[in-house]
Structures are given as C-alpha cells and as structure tokens.
Amino acid sequence: MRGCPIGMTGRRGIKVKNKIVLKPSYWASVSGGKDSLYMLFYILLNLNKYPLDGVVHFELEIDFPFIKNVIDYMESECKKYGIKFVRIKPRTTWKELYNQYGYPTRVSRWCNSKYKLDAQRQCKDFLKSQGYQLVTYIGYCADEVNRFEKRAGNNEIYPLVDAGINESKILDWAKEVPIFNDYYKFNKRCGCMYCPMCTMNNLAYILLYYPNSYEEMMKLAKETELLLGREYGKPFSVFSGNPKYNAVYKDKRVREKYLPQLEEQLKKDNIYTTLIK
C-alpha cells in the first residue's frame, strides 16, 4: 500500500508558550538486511532500554526477492510482542522514475533522493501531523563510525553502537541464516538490486540467483548509457566515472570471471548442487 497508515496510541504533542512541543515516537527502521534484522532482535530483547512504538520498512520494488521473506519474518516476530509493523512504498515507482531520469548513476542517484527517501518523508510527515516527532533506530554497527558520526542530531539512535557490536560479528552470523538465501556468503552489505554502486560479486550473485532481474538491470543500464552517450557526444557509464567500465564491460566480466568464481565457491560449500536442482 502507498501512504503512511500509522496509528498511534498514548503520547501527544503539548502546547507550551504558543509552541507545539512534539512528543517522541520511537520507530525501528528496517531494510531487511543483516544489520537491521540483528538490531530488531536486540531491541525486542531490550524493550526496557529502547521503547518501541513501531517498526517501519520502506518497501521498494527493486529490493532483492529474499528481502520480502525477511520482512515477513520480522513482522511475525513483532506481532508476538504486540509491536506495530508498517510498510511504506514510495509514491512514485522506480520504473516511473527511470522513464523520467534514466538509470541512476554513481553521480545522479535519484534512486535515493527521489525514491527511497520519499517513503521516509511520508513517515515523518504523518507523525508530525499527529503531534509526534519521529525518533529512528538505525542499524549502524559500532565500527561504522564514518557512517553514523556525520548524522549526529538527526533524531536517530544506534542500538548496535551502544552495545559495541561490530559488523564482522553480524556478517559471520548472517552467513549461516538461511532466510538470506546465501547472499552474505559472498557479499558484505545489501543495497537495492539495481544499485549503480554494486560490486562485481554482487552482480554475479544476481545473475546466478535472479537471472531475469539481472538481464533487465543490464538492459536498462545499457539503454541509459547509449542515450547519455549520444547526448554528451562521448561514451558514458552509469557504474563508473570511467566510461570504459560501462554495462557492456561489467556484463562481460561478470559472465567470464565472477560468475565462474561464484559457482566454484558454491560447489566447495556444497550449495551449487542444491541450487540448480
């Protein structure tokens, strides 16, 4: 569903000297990746320290397919604790924005500003209209200082930082969690499937596990590179500042080098035989 159907109980804004003081409303923001799932478990086990009004997931049609399974699982766990779980979609789809702007690039990442963050804005605006100020739990790890320090003052709380939990610990845990569909056996972090900043290992994983999505991704990337190449009068890449490393190059390297490497590693881990059955 689109929009932000968040219902609140309890605290309301109060008027002080003709000013509205918004009461805090505590929400865990979960992407469905390893850090957000680990953080949610940690919060649910420490509700006396981390009050939780609800959990919100910004639902994107370019999420990895396994993310939906993770989110469904998160919602079922929240129900056990009586915690509200809300999914919010951007008001404009990724494909509609693609038709307007072309494939996102490393420089022009409209996929974040005009797409993903729109869902966050809906959440903030709705809570504000109800007299609440959003306070968000974010799953940054203790060793991601460069990520969370620059966000100071954004009404955010980082439970994993408080607990001193590093990303390597969560990565080791995630490698053995079946619901992640082997993703973290080969990748450290999980973004959107069509991210212009994805690694070669990431692309190889998409090609092996979700080949239709991979083919669509490369088709759209190549179309944008051709259009912008004609517009600028020179070769262009959505993946790199160097036009050499365009979608044609990436596709070739993934098929010739990174996919065989991934398949070989899967065979060693006794995963590949099960995957191709």
> What is the tens place of the pLDDT at every residue in 128-169?
888 888 899 999 999 998 888 877 777 899 999 999 999 999
* pLDDT of 259: 97
Task: Tell me what percent of the residues of the chain surpass a pLDDT of 70.
Answer: 90
Burial class (CB in 10 A: 0-12, 13-18, 19+), 78: buried
Burial class (CB in 10 A: 0-12, 13-18, 19+), 229: middle
Q: Which of 156, 190, 224 is the last residue of a domain?
A: 190
Residues 219 and 176 in one domain: no
As for how many domains the chain has, the answer is 2
Largest CA distance in the chain: 69
Whether residue 188 is predicted with pLDDT greater than 70 in this model: the reply is: yes
Whether residue 97 is predicted with pLDDT greater than 90 in this model: the reply is: yes
140 phi-psi bin (left φ>0, alpha ψ -120 to 50, beta other): beta
Spell out the alpha helix ranges (H) of 187-256.
Answer: 200-209, 211-232, 247-253
Residues 52 and 186 in one domain: yes
Task: Tell me what percent of the residues of the chain surpass a pLDDT of 90.
Answer: 72
The number of C-alpha atoms within 13 Å of 250 and in the hemisphere containing its C-beta is 28
Residues 30 and 117 in one domain: yes
Whether residue 204 is predicted with pLDDT greater than 70 in this model: the reply is: yes
Task: Write out the residue range of the structural domain in which residue 20 sits.
Answer: 1-190
Residues 93 and 135 in one domain: yes
Whether residue 14 is predicted with pLDDT greater than 50 in this model: the reply is: no
**Distance from C-alpha of 95 to C-alpha of 88, rounded to nearest angstrom:** 17
Residues 169 and 208 in one domain: no
Lowest mean pLDDT among 6-20, 104-118, 250-264: 6-20
For the domain that residue 23 is a member of, what is the CATH number? 3.40.50
Pairing between β-strand 19-21 and β-strand 14-16 as defined by DSSP bridges:
antiparallel
Residues 153 and 207 in one domain: no
Q: Which of 141, 158, 190 is the last residue of a domain?
A: 190
**Distance from C-alpha of 201 to C-alpha of 13, rounded to nearest angstrom:** 48
pLDDT averaged over every residue in the chain: 88
pLDDT tens column, 52-70? 999 999 999 999 999 999 9
